[in-house]
Each structure stands twice: as C-alpha cells, then as structure tokens.
Amino acid sequence: MKNLSLLAKMAVSSALAAGLAPALAAGCAPKCRAKCAAYSSKCGAKCSAKCGAKCSPKCGAKCGAKANAKLIQRPAGYKPNYPITPATVAAGELVFKNTKLSSNGMACATCHTGGGSYQKSFAMPFPHKVEMAAGTYGLNSIHLDEAIQMCMAGPMAAKPFDWKSPDLANLVAFMTEEQKKFAKR
C-alpha cells in the first residue's frame, strides 16, 4: 500500500515534532536531520516538542513524498454537522485524550496539551493554511475537521474517522473551544 509507506514517513515527522529527533532522524534526509537535531539540541527536553513542531513542517515533506489529499479531505457534497454544546465539548475532550485511537500510543493531547504545538494560524477561523497540510498533502487551506483527520492519518498513525463519526463531531466541538482559548492568548 502506497499510503502505508507515506504514513510511516509522516509518523517520523510527528515523532520529530514530539521531540524524538535523536531516535528517528535517521529516516530523514541528511539536511533535514541536521536541522531537526539542531532544534532538539538548542531547546533540550523542556521544549523539544515546541522546537520539533518548527522542524516537522519544514522537514516532514522533504522526508517523503506528498500524501494523497483525498485521505483527509471532506467527501464531495459533505455537509458538516458539529453541534457545540457542553455535552459534545466534554465528549470531545475525552476523545482528545484517548490514546487508544492511535496505533502508536499517541493522543491529540500528546502534542496539543495546554495549547501546545499549534501554529499562530490556529487562532484564525477555518478554513485556513496549516503548514503540515501544505507540506504533506499540498493543500493550501483546510477545515478543522480535515486537520483532525490529518492528525489521525499522520502523527497518530491511525485510520481517519468516518465522516459521520460521533467522535469526529465531538472532537470538532472540543477543538472549536480550544481554538477560542488559543485566540485569546
């Protein structure tokens, strides 16, 4: 499967973003490996995820070919229905913290706890440019639900949610509230 190889390369990029550069940088091109190692050594353990996040968008796409954008894009004619209520936000927070959704023990919270590893653009209304989507999928603009699908397929090395999944709807509700908090920073 073409996508399995690509997902493996994306997992390397995600691991770099999570601060695991020394263990996984060998999978990247030498130029990227040097940049990622520089970020890790410059920041140390305290903020390696933050520095890794700088490295991943720059080096991730160079470490492998572009992924199939259809893997994360909304299906044709898709009409999103993501009610934002206290119940959906609470349910979404549980999904956000659930490591069992991934194949590698990661959860959304692994990278994004406390507003971490988001780019400044996260404060902007969706759809907007997300570096990981641009670098990995060649997409210049994505919706929040597509960003979630991207993280499922990439860093979490899992199958994206079914577009009718309550987990996706709840996670969108939670992330919408997280985005509001991030924008107020």
Does the pLDDT at position 184 exceed 50?
Answer: yes
Looking at 41, 63, 85, the residue that finishes a domain is: 63
Chain segment 11-26, per-residue pLDDT in tens: 444 444 444 333 333 3
Q: How far apart are CA 148 and CA 61, in angstroms?
A: 18
Q: How far apart are CA 80 and CA 76, in angstroms?
A: 11
Rounded to 5°, angle at Cα 135 from 160 and 77: 45
Q: Note whether 131 and 170 are same-domain residues.
A: yes
Q: How confident is the model at residue 185 (pLDDT cuts 50, 70, 90)?
A: confident
Instruction: Tell me which residue of 109, 82, 99, 77 sits closest to 166, measured CA to CA.
Output: 82
Q: Note whether 89 and 46 are same-domain residues.
A: no
Chain segment 108-164, per-residue pLDDT in tens: 999 998 888 899 999 999 999 999 999 999 999 999 999 999 999 999 999 999 999
Q: Note whether 180 and 154 are same-domain residues.
A: yes
Chain segment 71-100, per-residue pLDDT in tens: 999 999 999 999 999 999 999 999 999 999
Torsion angle defined by CA atoms of residues 7, 18, 91 and 102, in that order, rounded to the nearest 10 degrees: 30
Q: How far apart are CA 60 and CA 137, in angstroms?
A: 11
